[in-house]
Chain A
Amino acid sequence: TQLLEQSPQFLSIQEGENLTVYCNSSSVFSSLQWYRQEPGEGPVLLVTVVTGGEVKKLKRLTFQFGDARKDSSLHITAAQPGDTGLYLCAGDKTSYDKVIFGPGTSLSVIP
C-alpha cells in the first residue's frame, strides 16, 4: 500500500477545460509538495503547502492543503497544452528525513 494516493491516474482534456487532481493519505504530513514532470526531464517543484487549509495560487494553478493535512488538491483553470505532464505530490514528515512521492497523475491537454 502506498502512503500517498493520487487520482485520477490519467487525465486527457481539451484545451480551455478546468480540472482537479487529488492527493490523499491516511497520514498527517508536515507539508505537501507538488511537482510537474515533463517528458524526458526531472520533476520541477511547483509549490509547497504547510498549513492546514492553506490555499496557494500559481497563475492558473490553485493548490489547497486539507484542514487535517492529510490531503491536497491541484486545480487548473483553462488548461493549456503547456500544462501537459506528470503531476506528482510528495509529503514529508519530520521523522522521515525524506519526502514520499505519490504515483502521479498524467495529464494530457489536447489543443
Chain B
Amino acid sequence: DTAVSQTPKYLVTQMGNDKSIKCEQNLGHDTMYWYKQDSKKFLKIMFSYNNKELIINETVPNRFSPKSPDKAHLNLHINSLELGDSAVYFCASSQSGEGTGTYEQYFGPGTRLTVT
C-alpha cells in the first residue's frame, strides 16, 4: 500500500487555467504539507495542516489555496496558473509530538506541473 499518494503524477496546462492536485496519506499522521521543488531542486514548504487546521502558510500567492477535508487528505488548488508555477509539487505527512521522530517527513511521489 502506498503511504502517501498524489494525483495526478503529471499535469500540463495553459496559463490562466485553474487546476487541483490531490493528496492522501494512510499512515495515520496528523500533519500534512505541501512543498514546491523548483528546477534547482530546492525544496520549499508552502503550507502545513495539523488535524485539518492550517498552521503554516509561507509566502505563497493567494492563487494557491489548500484544503484539508480530513486529516488524511490535503488538496491544493491553483487559480490562474502562471509560467512560474511550473515545478514539482510534493505532498508530505508527519506525526507531531515531542521527542525523536517529530517532523520526520514522508513524501508522496510528486506532481510535475508544466504551465505553457
Contact with A along B34-63 (1 / 0, CB 8 A): 000000111111001000000110000000
Do B109 and A98 touch across chains, with their CB atoms under 8 A apart? Answer: no
| In contact, A86 and B107 (Cβ under 8 angstroms) | no
Using known A-B contacts A88-B43, A98-B56, A106-B41, determine if residue A41 contacts B105 with beta carbons closer than 8 Å: no
Assess the A43–B105 pair: CB atoms within 8 A: yes
Chain B residues, Cβ within 8 Å of A48: 100-101, 104
The CA of A97 and the CA of B94, in the complex, are separated in Å by 11
Q: Does A52 sit at the interface, judged by CB under 8 A?
A: no
- Residue B106 is within 8 A (CB to CB) of chain A in the complex: yes
Q: Contacts A48-B100, A92-B102, A98-B48 known; A104 to B42 CB distance under 8 Å?
A: yes
Q: How far is the CA of A99 from the CA of B92 in the complex (A)?
A: 12
The residues of A with any CB-CB pair to B shorter than 8 Å are 30-31, 33, 35, 37, 40-45, 48, 50, 86, 88, 90, 92, 97-99, 101, 103-104, 106
Please give the residue numbers on chain B whose beta carbons come within 8 Å of chain A beta carbons, in ascending order. Answer: 4, 33, 40-45, 48, 55-56, 90, 92, 100-110
A-B pairs with lowest CB-CB distance, top 7:
A42-B107, A101-B43, A92-B103, A99-B103, A43-B107, A50-B100, A104-B41
